[in-house]
Amino acid sequence: MKCEKCGADIPAGAKTCPKCNAAAPQNTVPQNKNVNTTDKNKSASAGKKNTNSNSNQKLTSSGKINTSEQAPSGTEDNEFDRQYSLMFESNQSNVGDADYEIDESLKKKREARYDDSFANMTDDEKIKALEAARLARKERREKKQAKRSGGIFSSFSGQDKENKTVKETVETGERSDSSAPFGQRSHKAAGAAERKIERVQSSSDISTVSGSADKSDAAEKRPKRSGKRSKNFKVSPKTGLIAGVIVAVLVIAVVIASVNMASKVTAGIPATPTVYAKDNSLYSYYGGKSVEVSQNFIASEYTEQTEPTTTPNRNRYDDEEETPTPAPQFEPIKEKELINYTADGTLSYFLDNADLNNNTGSLQYTQNGKKNSTVKIADNVYYDIEIAEDGSGVLYLTDTDEFGAGGTLNFWSNISKKAVKLSDNVNIGNFRFGQNGNSALYITEYNGEYFVGDLYLAEITKGEVAEAKKIESDVYKIFGTNPTGKSVVYAKNYNTENECFEIYLKNDNLGEPVMVTDGSRIEPVFLKNSEGMYIGGTYEEYYQSLYYASLENGEKEKIAGGLTEIIKMSKDEQAVVFRKANAEGTAFDYFYANQAGTEGQLIAENVTVLDDEDHKKVSQFEINDDFTKAGFIQGYDLANESGALFVVSITNGVVGSDKKISDTAYSCNITPDGQTIRYADNYDIKWNLVTLNAYTGEQSKVLAQEVGAGAFSFDKTGSYIVYAKNYSLETRTGDVYCVDNKGKTVDVVKGVSSYGLKNNGEIVYYNKQDNGSNFELFFTREDGKKSKSIDKDVTKVVLY
């Protein structure tokens, strides 16, 4: 008897071909090539696999599963297999996709493990071929399935290139996009890959950690791995409205844009440089002066690779090992990510001669607004650098791969104007300054498989670097130091099951390192004015406890439970606001907690998670720096882009009752003094327009109507809103206005193609009516007075 598929001889009585495992021509199970996808029960039984790992699936002569040996009906594993079988049906039309998206992803991963003949198998053959793999990997799958079923609870560990946030990320302060085609409703993320001075929310995405006693010995032989960080951090703190995004006044494509340059510090609101290009020459406008800082900004534009990335080959039926991790995908940076400036805006560190195919260039230093002040620091520098908070120095990597791994770490002093090599084999994200820039911390010989390395600290005094001291081995992540830079906080022992780690403290007084807490999933928030930090720990049932811990001895006190992540620390550093995600990961509750308390006080509940591109500029929760007033939108409905806006006061550490001020709020903002809630509401779905309002003294006042949703910017002082309207299809421009909280409106400028509201109140704009490549760049005050030309023949604005 011949096999109808491959032609091989089939022994008498055999039911399958010994060569290709195809069904024998006689007395075999019929091939089920056309399953009726409208009948879920029928298709499920036709493709059902036995969940008993000690026996193979048994089929009757009619092709149905022998249910006597199946796992109990209704179990998680049984349901998983039913869904998995459904996916093999060739004419399946998205049945169950909404409820079981994980299965589709798992199917693709599994199919990738087999050669091209897998695609030609029938449904029954696919199930049989995968059965051995399923049984061998059952335990691993269940663990992964359990983590995935937790919604967003498993998403807070992602060592992500986008986690570079100012310490004020708990205190607001972001840089938004400079310009983009107006008319796309997508509110493009501003803070995503932009350079910040300090980091607050970050943790690493881990696959496994060795817990054996000889891990140190293994570490010496461990292989190096690319330092490219994954992007699993799905929920990031939205501490304030990132205003001024590119949004259409109409649904059709338009070009007017608004951009808000948020301050990096909350006090003083310093000026920041506007960076633009004339062809390939780079200019900086600061303090009323425009200075050329580079004559060769970009040396090599990014060229997209057409060849697919390959992964190691393996035996198609070998399931004893995990599928090899795909090679990391290279992501070219944006030009604005090459520019960094200090918190006070006076100094800039930037890359020119940039090669966007490996994200490197020549690192330069300049004093903003001062001619001939540019100093070349080094060549072949990876773009992701760290600037000391006071601008006194910079940490940078040279000679890395395109993902920032395996480089040489260096420190350049703005005081001595000299560079010092600190260490070889350091990866991106594994170095930072201590508080106040008086020490440098870094991990070397980092093992990408076990996620451990050796932690060192080098003290910095008046620009001079002392010999580095080894702090600890097998360190997972650096967090930072106390204000003096003497107490070091770091993480060890990442747990792949719950994505938690242990937080350790070490200083000279302690001698040996002290474990402050286990079960942490978030990065500590350090106090700047005292020896303390807020941390999460003792993770259980999807939530952490919130602690206040001493940076002197590591002792901690619990001040709240139910923590998912810390959002903001108060100006006096005595309290924090944190949020707790619901079980489905669709909404947050926000809580207030201070050092004197033992439990958090509810501020807001059912605040919708808006973590997609379209809503990254839509603020759902706002609280002022003094923690006296908060505003939040409850139950935001994506169908009509609105929710109920509430305001609540906090007096002497006690959260009061909330009050509803709008049923149709789109986004909200609160002034620094907490006296006024500014908000957009009455979203017009057809025309993408909103109404701007201000709530002060128990009264709401309409400030402007028919404003492009997103084409408005709240100023940092809380005094006025800048917005655009009156778009012209003929000229592809619009008009810019400014309105204060009492409703007084000023015509700022007519016929604008793009504008940006800077944090010091200046408005930078240009008009590109002739559709040419060059334009004239202007600045004006928010009242429209003292308008001045910055420069002519400008080709692009890199940073507003």
In the chain, where the domains are located = 40-146
The closest of 180, 346, 196, 182 to 262, measured between CA atoms, is 196
What is the overall mean pLDDT for the chain?
75
Q: What is the DSSP letter of 403?
A: T
Report H helices in 411-473. none
The pLDDT confidence band at residue 173, using thresholds 50, 70 and 90, is very low
Q: Residue 420 is which amino acid?
A: V
Torsion (CA) 83, 86, 87, 91 in degrees, nearest 10: -150
pLDDT at 635 over 80: yes
At residue 59, does pLDDT exceed 90? no
Q: Residue 54: which pLDDT band, with cuts at 50, 70 and 90?
A: very low
The pLDDT tens digits of the residues spanning 7-39 come to: 777 776 677 777 667 776 654 333 433 333 334
pLDDT at 535 over 70: yes
Kindly report which listed range (134-138, 355-359, 614-618, 769-773) carries the lowest average pLDDT score.
134-138
Between the alpha carbon of residue 285 and those of residues 178, 229, 704, 789, 793, the distances in Å are 15, 34, 32, 11, 15
What's the average model confidence in pLDDT over 335-349?
Answer: 96
Q: What is the pTM of this model?
A: 0.69
Query: Is 609 or 422 the better-scoring residue by pLDDT?
Result: 422
pLDDT value for 738: 97
The number of C-alpha atoms within 13 Å of 688 and in the hemisphere containing its C-beta is 24
Residue 456 forms beta bridges with which residues? Answer: 442, 470
Tens-place pLDDT, residues 293-340: 999 999 999 998 765 544 444 444 444 555 555 667 788 899 999 999
Average pLDDT over residues 528-539: 97
Record the tokens describing residue 331, joined without a space: 């992501």
Provide the pLDDT for residue 121. Answer: 60
What pLDDT shows up at residue 321? 54
C-alpha angle 683-686-687 in degrees, rounded to nearest 5 = 75
**What dihedral do alpha carbons 546, 550, 554, 560 form, nearest 10°?**
-10
Question: pLDDT tier at 223 (50, 70, 90 boundaries)?
Answer: very low
Which pLDDT value is given to residue 328?
A: 72
Report the pLDDT averaged over residues 75-87: 44
CA atoms within 13 A on the CB side of 550: 9
- Kindly state the percentage of the chain with pLDDT values over 70: 64
Task: Quickly state the pLDDT bin for 768 (edges 50, 70, 90).
Answer: confident
Q: Which two tokens stand for residue 377?
A: 């620091």
Cβ-Cβ contacts under 8 Å for 87 (sequence gap 6 or more): 103, 104, 107
